[in-house]
Structure 1
Amino acid sequence: MRGWFDQAVGGLPRQFWLLWTGTLINRLGSFVVIFLAIYLTADRHFSQSQAGLVIGLYGVGGALGTTLGGVLADRWGRKPTMLTAQFGAAALMLVLGLAHDYGQILAATFALGLFTEAVRPAFSAMMVDVVPEHDRVRAFSLNYWAINLGFALSAVGAGLAAKVDYLLLFVVDAGTTLVTALICLVFLRETRPARAPEGHRTRDSGGMITALRDRVFLAYLLVSVFGIVVMMQHMSTLPIAMTTEGLSAATYGWVIAVNGVLIVLGQLFVPRLIGGREPARVLALGSLIIGVGFGLTAFAHASWFFALSVVIWTLGEMIQSPSNATTVAALSPASMRGRYQGLNSLSWSAGTALAPIAGGLTQEHLGNTALWLGCFVVCALVAVGHLVSGPSRRRRIALLSPSAPVAEPPPVPSIAEPLADAPPAR
């Protein structure tokens, strides 16, 4: 057991553990977004449509924030971007908690989404900066574990805080965000790679337009978005499907809690399973397992069967998440890591926004069976997409490797277009 523990957590740099600690503390107090709909309808007595508009504006602000945060992380620096976003988010939590007018709530929620999500690209870029390539699967697995542990505990804490006073949700959330910002201010050092002198731009220099022209990376994001749309069904159409089977909201609560419990108990074992394996194949296998899990929901009529389906797609999520993170890191040129992480976060925002629309329309017009079998088909296609585009990713990663010779920027290839001058894939 000690040998496994050392293999799972040993040898990672101090700055990674500071980032990990900040993640855990911040997630322990992540109350506001989880309970925002209940707060707006139950405590502020707004209608469901008004609450939906507020939450939608948070998403719009978040999409803008991830893009802006990625650019600032590369131009301004990881640490200044994180500090500005975290201190701003902490202040806006309190503003939102004290706001009574609907217009004020709309404005505060939009700004909160912008500042809260702007920190993510800088955070991820800093983690890639400090963790060596061979340790990234472990590092991202540990970070994902902290996110889910904090989320699970925060859900319990939020319920207790809401019984006392909803304002306490905003105060505690602001407090944990502030603590995370102070950790960043006092202990973290800037890690942004030095810029190349003017006139000596390397192959990884460029702006957001350059990132948007990277067809290999955009193809990866496009494939991933379809998988995200399927994954996010657990928050939109799954509870509706369960209630149509006569199951209560409380039953949905414990069924979906299986996801967090399984991740907390098993995520630390994942790096040993997937370490050293071809990322495209791991992503394809994870997608296929997720598809099987959601596909089985078509035949679920009892709570235990729904729980079984959650167990299956959670296993796929557990092996896919660190591979996703390491793939994005490997495809990101050193001087543009913030932008690439911002685009990755934006793809998650897009998938999360599309999920309830696509799932809801399918569920309403074609029924639950078509929805869940359709999820399996989509995941199977995502798996094929990862396998087909895997070789082009390997060539790109080899080209971006520090051991590759620095040259003038080559034309950005398409998925199927080989890199004639690329070194052999490792």
Structure 2
Amino acid sequence: MTANSDTLPLLRRMAMLPRAAWVICIGMFINKLGNFLNVFLVLYLTSEGHSAFLAGVALGATGLGGFVGNVVGGSIADRFGRRSAMAVSMFGAALFTVLLPASSNVHLTIALAVLVGFFAQLYRPAAGAVLVDAVPAAQRLTAFALLRLAINLGMAIGPAIGGVLSALSYWYLFAGDAIACVLFGVLVLVMLPEIKPEPVAPMADAPTTKAGYRAVFADPALRLYVLSMIAATFVYVQTTTTLPLHIKDAHLSNSFYGLLLGLNAILCILFELPMTKLIERRSARHVIAFGILLTGIGVAGTGLTTTELTLVLTVVVWTFGEMIYTSVATTYPGTLAPAHLRGRYQGAEGMAVSIAQTAGPAAGGLFYAVTPAGHWAACVAISIVAALLILGARARPAAPAEVTRSPGL
């Protein structure tokens, strides 16, 4: 990477990314393209005669499994290697996804949903760690933005395919999901060299050091980062939880809400990757803080308007906030992490997102039911707190650490 590479055209910069980054991005596109289970699980279970409550419990069980998967996945990535963690994740997710519709007992189905969620998220810390390991620091923001583009494209196309498959048979949904997982797993095994950090040997006269997640959360900057991401993600998930409630209360249609989400997806696909060139040379903490604040203002602005045009404007505001901070925030743990803990640092980021995605809908819905105006005002306040937290999350000076890499990386 040359010193003036930040002036290169976007396509050239993408072409300069190492093979490992492209393997992760292509694999994630395939995975999200076939990620039907979370979208259609409730519809499937209710069609089988189960109550909406139990269907909701099963969907929540996948979230619980995903939280644990992030934690364990970080440890596996650091101990046994990135490729191993991703392969186990994808093949395990494929197996339990196929088994889930074979169960006629709803309690067994919920247990299988936990396992699906666990294996489906086990890969996440390893994938993030690969991008940190393989991509030079100057290119990481482009790599993580490309990853976001791959995810958004897959999630934009996947539900439409799932809708067609579900009209034929729900079994096709689960089979398609499993096939996508297997394809990602095979791609990783064939195309991605194993990456495993060298363990850090303690000095003979040094005191006993913390290991694993104890070492991760002993880092003050990481703790502030995690708290910031929990707060920021709590605000963002209101776009899929309390925003539709506001749309309903404003006597607007569900189809209009769908158009708002479609607008969000289109803006992300068109502008997020090119935007990296504008923000990559600025302080990561300042960029994240600004994006979080813009997201909070846009989300809170929802409560101030009930017309279609002004609601569209609020979506544009929080979408640009999302685009500004999300890729940078996902990249930031790699700035904080020593080489031998990169998987766990990425796992901590996944934990923060999982916590907010699990608690955010319930807490936001409850607060909205009590006081809608107070709820939207709280979104601004929480965003301010999140921005202040990330501003305090300064990276400590990096200690030299070795990472074993294959020549093809």
User: Could you tell me the TM-score, scaled by structure 2's length?
Assistant: 0.92
Q: Distance in 1 between matches of 2:330 and 2:147?
A: 10
Q: Distance in 2 between matches of 1:163 and 1:204?
A: 56
State the partner residue of 2:240.
235
Q: Distance in 1 between matches of 2:45 and 2:310?
A: 33
Measured against aligned partners, the alpha-carbon deviations of 1:313-340 in whole angstroms (never above 9, x if no partner) come to 0101101011102211111110011111
* 1:7-86 aligned within 5 A: 7-41=12-46, 43-86=47-90
State the partner residue of 1:98.
102
Residue 197 of structure 1 deviates from its aligned partner by 4.5
Tell whether 2:281 aligns with 1:282. Answer: no
Q: Distance in 2 between matches of 1:364 and 1:6?
A: 47
Residue 257 of structure 1 deviates from its aligned partner by 1.3
Q: Distance in 2 between matches of 1:278 and 1:174?
A: 41
Instruction: Specify whether residues 233 and 204 from structure 1 end up closer, same or farther in structure 2 by C-alpha distance, changes over 3 A only.
Output: farther
State the partner residue of 1:192.
196
Q: Is the 8 A contact 2:339 2:401 kept in 1?
A: no
Q: Is the 8 A contact 2:294 2:318 kept in 1?
A: yes
Q: Distance in 2 between matches of 1:359 and 1:261?
A: 26
Q: Is the 8 A contact 1:204 1:334 kept in 2?
A: no
Q: Is the 8 A contact 1:283 1:386 kept in 2?
A: yes
1:399 partner letter: A
1:355 aligned to 360, 375, 389, which one? 360
2:278 aligned to 268, 273, 276, which one? 273
* 1:94-133 aligned within 5 A: 94-133=98-137
Measured against aligned partners, the alpha-carbon deviations of 1:297-352 in whole angstroms (never above 9, x if no partner) come to 01221233222211110101101011102211111110011111111101111011
1:329 aligned to 334, 339, 345, which one? 334
2:398 partner letter: L
| SS in structure 2 of the partner of residue 247 of structure 1 | coil
Measured against aligned partners, the alpha-carbon deviations of 1:255-287 in whole angstroms (never above 9, x if no partner) come to 111111110111121111111110111011101
* Structure 1 range deviating more: 191-200 or 31-40: 191-200
Q: Distance in 1 between matches of 2:130 and 2:167?
A: 38
2:15 partner letter: G
State the partner residue of 1:155.
159
Residue 402 of structure 1 deviates from its aligned partner by 6.6
Unpaired segments ≥5 residues, structure 1: 404-426
Q: Distance in 1 between matches of 2:401 and 2:58?
A: 45
1:322 partner letter: S
Q: Distance in 2 between matches of 1:77 and 1:3?
A: 33
2:103 partner letter: A
Tell whether 2:218 aligns with 1:219. Answer: no
Measured against aligned partners, the alpha-carbon deviations of 1:135-169 in whole angstroms (never above 9, x if no partner) come to 11110011011100110001211111111111111
Q: Distance in 1 between matches of 2:258 and 2:292?
A: 24
User: Could you tell me the TM-score, scaled by structure 1's length?
Assistant: 0.88
Tell whether 2:91 aligns with 1:87. Answer: yes
Q: Is the 8 A contact 1:331 1:400 kept in 2?
A: no
Q: Distance in 1 between matches of 2:49 and 2:39?
A: 17
Q: Distance in 2 between matches of 1:29 and 1:209?
A: 35
- The share of aligned pairs that are identical, in percent, is 32
Measured against aligned partners, the alpha-carbon deviations of 1:155-211 in whole angstroms (never above 9, x if no partner) come to 211111111111111111111111000001111111122224465799998322211
1:135 aligned to 114, 136, 139, which one? 139
Instruction: Specify whether residues 401 and 148 from structure 1 end up closer, same or farther in structure 2 by C-alpha distance, changes over 3 A only.
Output: farther
Q: Distance in 1 between matches of 2:91 and 2:360?
A: 31
Q: Distance in 2 between matches of 1:356 and 1:315?
A: 22
Q: Distance in 1 between matches of 2:276 and 2:95?
A: 37
Tell whether 2:296 aligns with 1:291. Answer: yes
Q: Is the 8 A contact 2:156 2:265 kept in 1?
A: yes
Output the aligned Cα RMSD: 2.1
